Amino acid sequence: MKFLKRIGWRIAIWHSVMFMFVLFLFSGFLYITFSDMLTKKVDSMLARELGLITYCLEKKDSFTEIEQHINGLPSFAGINKEEIYWQIENERGQLIAGSHNLHGKQIKRSNVLDRKVENVSVWNTDLSDTPIRAMSMSMSSKGILKYQVTVATYSRILEVSILNLKHILLFLTCCFVGVSVVMGWLISKKTLQPIHQIINTTNQITATNLYERLPIEGPEDELQSLCITLNCMMDRLEASFTQIQQFTSDASHELRTSLTIMRGELDVALNRSRSEVEYKRVLHTILEEVIYLSDMVEKFLYLSRDTSNSNQIKRKTVDGVFLLQYVRNHLLSLVLKKQINLNIQINEPFTLYGDEDLLRRLFINLVENAIKYTPTSGTVEIKACSIKEIIYIEVIDHGIGIPQEHLPFIFQRFYQVDDSRSRSQGGTGLGLSLCKWIIEAHKGTIEVQSKLGEGTRVIVGLLAR
């Protein structure tokens, strides 16, 4: 059934089932309590009549006087005097006296007693096919049975009252079942209304309006928490979508620029015959662009690695001294080309715990940047020290520095302080972004301090092994 797939109807049905369950329990309790109460009232009336007869017998009143006494009592529980029967039997069970309305008949004793307390017995039987409730008591003298006194009355009022109660309860139950279904449906509709609003608003959010948010209304309940959670998710999606758009735009721009340069150089070279020197210059220009694109693609591959997957980060113990020596040897040609004095100052040997390949790329990028933006014959320093469980490695150059207003943005992808200067140095604008990514993958810290015209200090903090 399709309607059962809707949570609103399921809530309504569950509400109705629980309501009916409670109603049935209450009806059963009321039925049992009311029946017991009526039975006790009838038994109380019979006990009163029985007590009066036994009292009269003890006084040795005549049977006529006994009936007069009974008729003189007020009616009880809506039972007329004509509906009360009494009889007295001797020790042999022979009827010796009885109410005139018995018309010579005898109240039969049932083998199944409803209740028996000491010498008093209570049972249900019938008199001329009329259901009655009887109570009997034995009167003894010196341990010898003398009389068996029995009183009875129609159980009609008891049965009719219980039957009427049963009909009333069944009628009310049917009515309340319908009411509970309607109430359950209304309650579920009211409860789910905010969820429908959330669904409608969410369906309206597309790539063109990611700025839309769910309204935070109503009390501080689960629905408000859901709206806040969805809005936070939308914030992250919008930020990611914006970054992807920016990254795509920047990457396309960089690729188009390099391809335009190479195409322009080739068009000029093929336009007419050139000298060997001119062809070499064109090839050299194209080679620079190819190197630039290769470097950018390599950094793209690093940035595309999934750091959320622990298997992608191959952590192991890394010798810090050997790592920095590797970086120095890797950049030796650039150091010699610019005649840079590269000093490495390590107070004591240290080890790191992380991905050796990524850590190499991290420090190669930092030291390469320091060398590129340091004047010829300048100095670049690498210092390492440990404080508690953190290894701090500083890369210091005395180059051109970075203006203060650019420092908050230098870790953004493709961000370059001076496009023309960075391009001439072979920069892609991805180096520091890659460094930031590697640092975050290793749960470390990176800080940049710089003054224009004085140089730059990059401080990296990584966990020691």
Between strands 341-346 and 379-387, the pairing is parallel
- Looking at the domain that runs over 310-463, which CATH code has it been given? 3.30.565.10
Which of 1.10.3470, 1.20.120, 1.10.287, 1.10.10 is the CATH number of 222-302? 1.10.287
Question: What is the model's pLDDT at position 168?
Answer: 83
pLDDT of residue 157: 65
Tell me, which fold does domain 2-163 have in CATH? Answer: Beta-Lactamase (3.30.450)
With 0-12 CB in 10 A as exposed, 13-18 as middle and 19+ as buried, what is 429? buried
3-state secondary structure of 150: strand
Mean pLDDT of 84-108: 83
- Please determine, for residue 392, whether its predicted confidence score (pLDDT) is greater than 90: yes
The answer, as to whether pTM is greater than 0.85, is: no
Sequence ranges of the chain with CATH classification 1.10.287: 222-302
Supply the pLDDT for residue 212: 80
| Mean pLDDT calculated for residue range 156-167 | 74
Task: Determine which of 185-199, 239-253, 311-325, 365-379 has the lowest per-residue pLDDT on average.
Answer: 239-253
Where in the chain are all domains bearing CATH 3.30.565.10?
A: 310-463
Distance between CA atoms of residues 380 and 367, nearest Å: 8
pLDDT in tens, 7-39: 666 777 777 778 778 888 888 888 888 888 888
Q: CATH 3.30.450 in the chain, residues?
A: 2-163
- pLDDT, residue 21, reads 81
pLDDT band at 236 (very low <50, low <70, confident <90, very high): confident
Q: How far is CA 64 from the centre of its chain?
A: 83
Rounded to whole angstroms, how far apart are CA atoms 339 and 424? Answer: 18
Cα separation, 81 vs 75, whole angstroms: 7
Q: CA–CA separation, 313 vs 174, rounded Å?
A: 67
Which residue did the predictor score with more confidence, 424 or 335?
335
Res. 75 pLDDT band, cuts 50 70 90 = low
Structure tokens at 119: 């010498």
Task: Please name which of 121, 452, 426, 416 lies closest in space to residue 290, comparing C-alpha atoms.
Answer: 426
In sequence order, which residues have a C-beta less than 8 Å from that of residue 440 and are 6 or more positions away? 307
Return the pLDDT at 16. 75
User: Hey, which of 52-61, 252-261, 321-330 has the most confident mean pLDDT?
Assistant: 321-330
